[in-house]
Structure 1
Amino acid sequence: MKIIDFRFRPHTEAILNGIKNSTMFKASCEASGFDKWQPQTLDDIVVDLKARGVTRCVITGRDCQTTYGFPDNNGSVLEFCRAYPDMFLGFWGIDPHKGMDAVREVEKVVKEYGMKGIATDPYLAHISPCEARYYPIYAKCCELNVPVFITMAPPPQVPGAVMTYTDPRDVDVVARDFPELKIVMSHGGYPFVHEAIYACYRNKNVYMDISEYEAAPMCETYISAMKSMIADKVVFASAHPFVEQGECLANYASMDLPEDVREKIMYKNACAVLGLSED
């Protein structure tokens, strides 16, 4: 079975150091034992991806410079995509507090750098995804016909981040206001499990992944919904290296899912979001 991983970052030395030393995730990494990782070269990482049957990975950038004073990581997204354009698809991280500069950035990176989408982190921006500062960004994405990836669950121990800004009901508002915009909610809107499922079910343009929460309490509700209500609306994502991709694939292999649904989640639904052929 072909696999597309919708949330992946290569565990090179620079990426691992950037994550564990960031103002956003340092405390979370220390609490979770993130130091267990051994870095690899990008070439070796790609060899491992192909061995697992992974055909494409979406690499999401992050820009929360206004709220956390930490440099964005978009340069690495571009670097990886240029090194392996047949493997990596880039979603550029955007800081909504940068106003029209952010809107112009969206156009530049899509048209000049070939980015396939835009990534946002409302909980790191300390505003809701339906707050007005996001709307010009969404409008530009509609104009350019690229999807938006919205991180919708705050990891533990992130300074200043609150769950209020990860409520899927706010994504429901965005979906109403921008019916042409393809939206992917990352991390399943956890712990707002039912709200996330229904936001996907009732909005044609809303998708989600459940990365990092495949074995969390209430996960069985996600799995039950995948079999019926949202079989066409969930994309596989590992959140590697926060969760090791191989471990995540094993979790999905053990899920009680019909094979046709499993194929949609692991590959076909991502093709639909990204506008890729299933061949």
Structure 2
Amino acid sequence: MKVIDFRFRPNTPDAVNGMLAHPVFGDMFTLFKYADRAYAQSLEDIVQDMDAHGVVKGVITSRDAETTYGLASGNPGVLAITRRFPDRFIGFAGLDPHKGMAAVRELKSMVLEHGMRGAATDPYLARIPADHARYYPIYSACCELDVPVVITTGPGTLVRGAVMEDGHPRHIDRVAADFPDLKIVISHGAYPWVDEAIMVVHRNRNVYMDLSEYENSPFSEGYIKAANTLIGDKILFASAAPFLDFRGQLEVYRQLPFTDEARANIMFNNAERLLGLNA
């Protein structure tokens, strides 16, 4: 089975070392013992591993949280990877909503001049929810460029200053209502608001979701049931590499009780359609 991984940051030495000494996520990585399983590879070896496991595309979502956390844009690093393997990796530009029109200009440059295929924002790190007015110029630009936006959700465990309310899917529902043509991916499934996230995806035509990291967490059986009944055509496989080993996550998805139709859609078809790769 062919696979598109919608949250795949290659475990290069720079990426792994950066995670082990991360100024914002360091406490979370320590809590979940990332150092015990971290390993680095060359980009060439990573691509060989992807080939061996049927992963034909990896979407790399960048970050920019310079205003709130001093984390400068990761877009140059993502571009360096996508330029080396343009047929294998797809970049999404990380954007800081506090930068206003500078963020819009960055998005347009990354898409029109450098071939990125979408935007990525993080309400936890921005410290404002996804329906705050500061994001709206970014969403408008995404509609103009006809590219998706990945909105990172999840608990933001042990991130100083992060507030869970900022990641609640109700805010994404408002965005979807205000921008019905905007293609949205709720990354990390808006965990722990499983039921609410499912309904936001179900009731809005252009809202998708990945479950990265939370496939086997408490309450996650709701995601699986919804995949087999309501939203199997709108869930995307995302390994959360390199925090989790993509090879292990592929095995997790082989074991989850998806229907054959849902599994085929989740692993490849939905992402292919969302990215316009089948056009």
TM over 0.5: yes
Query: Bigger shift: 132-141 or 241-250?
Result: 241-250
Q: CA deviation at 1:226?
A: 0.3
Query: Bigger shift: 129-138 or 72-81?
Result: 72-81
Distance between the aligned counterparts of 2:144 and 2:108, measured in 1? 9
CA contact under 8 A between 1:90 and 1:117: conserved in structure 2? yes
Give the match for residue 194 of structure 2. 193
Return the letter of the residue paired with 1:95: D
Give the match for residue 16 of structure 1. 16
Does 2:270 match 1:269? Answer: yes
Return the letter of the residue paired with 1:213: Y
Give the match for residue 237 of structure 1. 238
CA contact under 8 A between 2:129 and 2:171: conserved in structure 1? yes
Q: CA deviation at 1:269?
A: 0.3
Q: CA deviation at 1:34?
A: 1.5
Give the match for residue 253 of structure 2. 252
Return the letter of the residue paired with 1:31: L
Q: CA deviation at 1:101?
A: 0.6
Q: CA deviation at 1:257?
A: 1.3
CA contact under 8 A between 1:212 and 1:239: conserved in structure 2? yes
**1:8-37 C-alpha deviation (Å, 9 max, x unpaired):** 101111011222222211111122221231
1:1-279 alignment, distance < 5 Å: 1-36=1-36, 37-277=38-278
Distance between the aligned counterparts of 1:128 and 1:18, measured in 2? 27
Return the letter of the residue paired with 2:116: M
Distance between the aligned counterparts of 2:226 and 2:206, measured in 1? 17
**1:201-241 C-alpha deviation (Å, 9 max, x unpaired):** 00001000000001101111100000011011100000011
CA contact under 8 A between 1:22 and 1:70: conserved in structure 2? no
Q: CA deviation at 1:242?
A: 1.1
Q: CA deviation at 1:265?
A: 0.4
- TM-score norm. by structure 2 comes to 0.98
**1:168-188 C-alpha deviation (Å, 9 max, x unpaired):** 111000000001110000000
Equivalent position SS for 1:71: coil
Distance between the aligned counterparts of 1:239 and 1:64, measured in 2? 19
- Structure 2, gaps ≥5 residues long: none
Distance between the aligned counterparts of 1:218 and 1:45, measured in 2? 33
**1:56-79 C-alpha deviation (Å, 9 max, x unpaired):** 010000000100012222111101
Query: Bigger shift: 122-131 or 65-74?
Result: 65-74
Distance between the aligned counterparts of 2:274 and 2:118, measured in 1? 10
CA contact under 8 A between 2:152 and 2:187: conserved in structure 1? yes
**1:117-172 C-alpha deviation (Å, 9 max, x unpaired):** 00000110000000000000000110000000000113321111111011111100
CA contact under 8 A between 1:235 and 1:269: conserved in structure 2? yes
Query: Bigger shift: 239-248 or 192-201?
Result: 239-248
Return the letter of the residue paired with 1:35: A
Return the letter of the residue paired with 1:14: D
Equivalent position SS for 1:263: helix
Equivalent position SS for 2:236: coil
Equivalent position SS for 1:227: helix
After TM superposition, where is structure 1 displaced by more than 3 Å over at least 4 residues in a row?
Answer: none
**1:36-58 C-alpha deviation (Å, 9 max, x unpaired):** 31211000010001100000010
Q: Root-mean-square deviation (CA), in Å?
A: 1.0
Return the letter of the residue paired with 2:46: I
Equivalent position SS for 1:127: coil
- Structure 1, gaps ≥5 residues long: none
Return the letter of the residue paired with 1:32: F
Distance between the aligned counterparts of 1:27 and 1:116, measured in 2? 31
Equivalent position SS for 1:58: strand
Return the letter of the residue paired with 1:242: F
